[in-house]
Structure 1
């Protein structure tokens, strides 16, 4: 997302997804919302992974998921978000519910074991059928 400048987590996620058999287009850090949406339209991925470490993930992700879900050509695109999604540990469950209600298919909060993400990814079809 545009406000998140981390790089290592993006490389880790890329390597993990590639190990799970997926081709990855890593857009890098600080990517504007419109660039993410247009890249998804161009590449038609089988999954979009949004990662946040700055604590603004919940706030910044809602407009992004709204823009993605508004595009008919991206209908059915699985979109997940993970990382440090807020600055308050007390709101973790509430934030996860908000993000799911906004249109995310899964939320992986900071500290969730990696196996749950791998299980989610493993259940995805390897080919796009939109």
Structure 2
């Protein structure tokens, strides 16, 4: 099996075709350069020796780094939609592995899974997808992210000093895919995460927080009808006997609400309107760097 490794030099990415060979002298596997390929964006299949042209690692690298990368992503999204409808989890995992190998977990979520799930919702609203099929797609996506989470958990990077984050949804909010995505992303970045979504009573969340002692609580709202329940949850957290940490509130359910100037009581609460997954880490660092010193609302 061969691989294409990219190396950045002065802002430009250069590619090398390499393969694993056994080093008898040192008693271990080492990588041997088969061929220098030049600029990553200009690598074509013709540049690869014929015996390696059909290798899946080679094909995926060329597709991801060529000027047709956007076309490749579009094709992958169309394929993912069909696989979700068919509940073909194995093939979905295969797409994840091929894409994330070069672009990583974050971009897989932002550029593939999220747009595809939005498409599922649009098709359902337009009556082009029945409820049962929409549920099949949702369940398949949950299974996929669960598999990804299990893989991330097998390779823990958290340490004893890692920030502890509690992820939850207010009672009545049963959408949990976003919470699972955030969980795996944060775990991959070294955070200690407890995800208790979906739909947990406020008292149960507070009781768990008292034991877990999180540095941050993240609340996800998908349906705007659950905004009222989230307000009650926030008030209960702030009025409870636990040492209330900063609170981040996100999800498409808060996009329609207007945020007024926050009073002292809500100085620990921050609303993440218009924030993508990639914007969560800066938000976490900001609200946790000075403990309770949180006053303004993030907007993008």
TM-score, with structure 1 as normaliser: 0.76
Q: Indicate conservation of the 8 Å contact 2:182/2:277, yes or no.
A: no
The alpha carbon displacement at 1:49 in A equals 0.4
Unpaired stretches in structure 2, ≥5 consecutive residues: 1-169, 292-300
Runs of 4+ displaced beyond 6 Å: none
Unaligned runs of 5+ in 1: none
Listed as ranges, the matches of 1:1-130 within 5 Å are 1-75=170-244, 77-86=245-254, 89=256, 92=257, 94=258, 96-97=259-260, 100-101=262-263, 103=266, 104-109=268-273, 111-123=274-286, 124-125=288-289
* Structure-1 separation of matches of 2:171 and 2:248: 17
Q: Alpha-carbon deviation of 1:20? A: 2.8
**Preserved contact between residue 33 and residue 64 of structure 1 (Cα < 8 Å):** yes
Structure 1 pair 57–108 and aligned structure 2 pair: CA distance change class (3 A): farther
Identify the structure with bigger relative contact order (alpha carbons < 8 Å, sequence gap 6+). Answer: 1
Could you say what the CA RMSD is over the residues aligned between the two structures, in angstroms? 2.4
The structural deviation recorded for 1:113 is 3.0
Rounded Cα–Cα distance in structure 1 between residues aligned with 2:171 and 2:240? 20
TM-score (norm 2): 0.36
Measure, in 2, the Cα distance between the counterparts of 1:37 and 1:69. 10
> Which protein has the bigger strand share?
2
Q: Matches of 1:52 and 1:16 in 2, distance apart?
A: 18
Higher helix content, 1 or 2: 2
Aligned residues: 118
